[in-house]
Amino acid sequence: MEQLQRAFEANREAIPAAADLIVRTIQADGIVHVFGSGHSQLVALDVAGRAGGLAGVNPLFDPLFGRAERLEGFAPLLLAAHSFQPADVLIVISHSGRNPAPIEVALHGKAHGLPVIAVTAVAFSRSMPSRHSSGKRLFELADVVLDTLGAPGDAAVPLGPGLAVGPTSTVVGAALLQAVMVEAAARLLARGIPPPVFRSGNLEGADAHNRALRERYRGRVQWVV
């Protein structure tokens, strides 16, 4: 709880800055691409294809769930199935920000002219060298950085020498990203643009609403559900 509170204070300016990039994309009928490898993929999926979430979010799935995260050249193969357009925006999630997969996804996005939003633990990342041949870490490639303030190794609760538990990257990363999405939806509404938000299938009338949104983004978004 303490880390969540500190993270929101630390990202007081980054959250609206990231939201503005999302607004620009939705306004231009672009796609919000989101990538995470390993457990970072949980954070990516948390903002994709769900009730209360923006419909134009495309998860860039890692079918190996992080097992090839350190392999240079793996990410471009994943991205070959996706089309990036100038109106799109890219979110990349990585606790350490040092492994090749998230770095190559960010580089791919930059090469296609997309603004990049990073979700990462900046102090931890600064303390470690990159594992990518470019020498770059994720936070160095991003236009906006959401800093999770995560501890080295992610475990936040020390129990003794060499023993720590309680990883926070998923909880804090998801909370920060959801805050960005809420802010983006509110800013769209303030501009007179109805935000394309999924409704729960358990609400009456939601199915027709959600079908219309899926039709709008057909062929451009991989649906989680």
Q: Where are the alpha helices (DSSP H) in the chain?
A: 2-10, 14-27, 40-46, 74-79, 100-111, 122-126, 138-141, 169-190, 206-216
210 within a domain of the structure (yes/no): yes
CB atoms under 10 Å from CB of 36, counted, come to 29
Residue 51's pLDDT band, with cuts at 50, 70 and 90, is very high
Predicted confidence at residue 61, as pLDDT, reads: 94
Residue 87's pLDDT band, with cuts at 50, 70 and 90, is very high
168 within a domain of the structure (yes/no): yes
Q: pLDDT at residue 182 above 80?
A: yes
Q: Which residue range is the domain that position 37 belongs to?
A: 2-216
What's the CATH number where 70 sits?
3.40.50.10490
What distance in Å separates the CA atoms of residue 1 and residue 215, rounded to the nearest whole number?
Answer: 39
What is the arithmetic mean of pLDDT over 28-35? 98
225 within a domain of the structure (yes/no): no
Residue 20's pLDDT band, with cuts at 50, 70 and 90, is very high
74 within a domain of the structure (yes/no): yes
What distance in Å separates the CA atoms of residue 88 and residue 210, rounded to the nearest whole number?
Answer: 21
DSSP 141-203: H-SEEEE--PPTTSEEEEEETTEEEEE-HHHHHHHHHHHHHHHHHHHHHHTT----B---TTS
Structure tokens at 1: 């709880």
Residue 224's pLDDT band, with cuts at 50, 70 and 90, is low
221 within a domain of the structure (yes/no): no
pTM: 0.97
Predicted confidence at residue 222, as pLDDT, reads: 87
What is the arithmetic mean of pLDDT over 160-189? 97
What distance in Å separates the CA atoms of residue 96 and residue 124, rounded to the nearest whole number?
Answer: 6
150 within a domain of the structure (yes/no): yes
189 within a domain of the structure (yes/no): yes
Share of the chain above pLDDT 90, in %: 96
Q: Give me the number of domains the chain comprises.
A: 1
Q: pLDDT at residue 225 above 60?
A: no
186 within a domain of the structure (yes/no): yes
What is the arithmetic mean of pLDDT over 74-101? 96
CB atoms under 10 Å from CB of 116, counted, come to 22
What is the arithmetic mean of pLDDT over 122-145? 98
**CA end-to-end span of the chain, whole Å?**
30
Predicted confidence at residue 142, as pLDDT, reads: 98
What distance in Å separates the CA atoms of residue 58 and residue 212, rounded to the nearest whole number?
Answer: 17
